[in-house]
Structure 1
Amino acid sequence: MTTLRSRDGDTISNILWITLKRNDDEAEEALFELNPGLEQYGPVLPAGVVIEIPTLPEKAAEKVINIWD
Structure 2
Amino acid sequence: MRKVRSVAGDSVNLLLYRETGRSDDAAEEALWKLNPSLAEHRPVLPAGVWIVLPELDAQPAAIKPLSAWD
Deviation for aligned residue 1:20: 1.3
**TM-score for the superposition, normalised by structure 2:** 0.81
Q: How many residues align?
A: 67
Residue 29 of structure 1: aligned partner:
29
- What amino acid does structure 2 have at the position aligned with 1:59? P
Residue 41 of structure 1: aligned partner:
41
Displacement over 3 Å in runs of 4+:
60-67
Could you tell me which runs of 5 or more consecutive residues in structure 1 were left unpaired when the two chains were aligned. none
SS at match of 1:13: helix
- Mapping for residues 1-69 of structure 1, pairs under 5 Å: 1-57=1-57, 58-62=59-63
Could you tell me which runs of 5 or more consecutive residues in structure 2 were left unpaired when the two chains were aligned. none
Deviation for aligned residue 1:62: 4.6
CA RMSD between the two structures: 1.6
Percent identity between the two aligned chains: 46
